[in-house]
Homo-oligomer: A and B are copies of this chain.
Amino acid sequence: MLSAISCDTCAIRHRALCGVLSAEEIQKINAIAFRRTFAPNEMILNDRETPEFFGNIISGVVKLSKMMADGRQQIVGLQFASDFIGRPFATRNPFFAEAASEVVLCCFRKKQFEDLVREMPDLEHRMFQHTLDELDAARAWMVLLGRKSAEERIASFINLVVERAQASSGCRSDFMADSGAANLRIELPLTRAEIADYLGLTIETVSRQFTRLKSRGIIDTAKGRQILVHDVGVLRDVAGEEDPVNLGID
């Protein structure tokens, strides 16, 4: 699927990379942008061929994964609305990008986009910042993979989904800041197998730990992949995470 777009009505206009662009610049980028929709489990980019395009996620969840020769798999990143997909200035992506849900991307052809980036230092600066944030997130995940117990991993994962859900739905973190009550209901965007691949566990362990968190009264499960979090603060404690601090990005 493929269609022309207008940035004016774009749901992620101000959160995505385009947020820093002037009206004139938006014109330019609008001219080369097109939308594509991907079905769940559809491959977006593979780790072999040079990608033809990059894209911002308008809606949906994308998983970035690596596979070892013998089939062991590790999800190395989850990308949500307004995140950027693809590695500029290289002929290959070193991982797969797959749609975890139905995904709508705002795409740019590789060459055109790279030229545009070099022309617009503000855009490159914004992408640079975004990459720095991704690097920080990857390193935080390394702590989870290297040092956390299965239970902490599951709690951390639920926490991550909660945070991303809040970020997308206009930052309601004000009225529940540190108390963190409020019986949140969220939808997990991944299957058990995907969660296992993201957390460096097996499906069975993931399942058992969900049951365990439920019996400990920390979460409840509902229809489908819905989860009820009773107290985000407690969840964060179980996740073994420090209280989030202001990174103070310019």
Contact = CB atoms under 8 A, between A and B. Distances in A.
Interface of A: 50, 64, 66, 68-70, 72-74, 76-77, 87-92, 94-95, 118, 121, 124-125, 127-129, 131-132, 134-136, 138-143, 145-147, 197, 199-200, 240, 242, 245-250
A139 B240 contact: no
Contacts of A197: 146
B91 A247 contact: yes
Given A124-B121, A131-B131, A247 B90 contact: yes
A91 B131 CA distance: 16
B248 A92 contact: yes
Query: What DSSP secondary structure best describes chain A's contact surface?
Result: mixed
Contacts of A73: 147
A73 B87 CA distance: 30
Given A74-B147, A124-B121, A127-B128, A249 B89 contact: yes
A245 B127 CA distance: 25
A146 B147 contact: no
State the copy count for this chain: 2
A90 B76 CA distance: 24
A111 to B, nearest CB: 11
A132 B69 CA distance: 24
Contacts of A121: 118, 121, 124
Given A69-B240, A138-B135, A240-B70, A143 B76 contact: yes
Given A94-B139, A94-B140, A135-B138, 7 more contacts: A66-B140, A91-B247, A131-B131, A138-B139, A142-B145, A145-B146, A146-B200
A128 B138 contact: no
Nearest to A149: B72
A138 B140 contact: no
A142 B141 contact: yes
B69 A145 contact: no
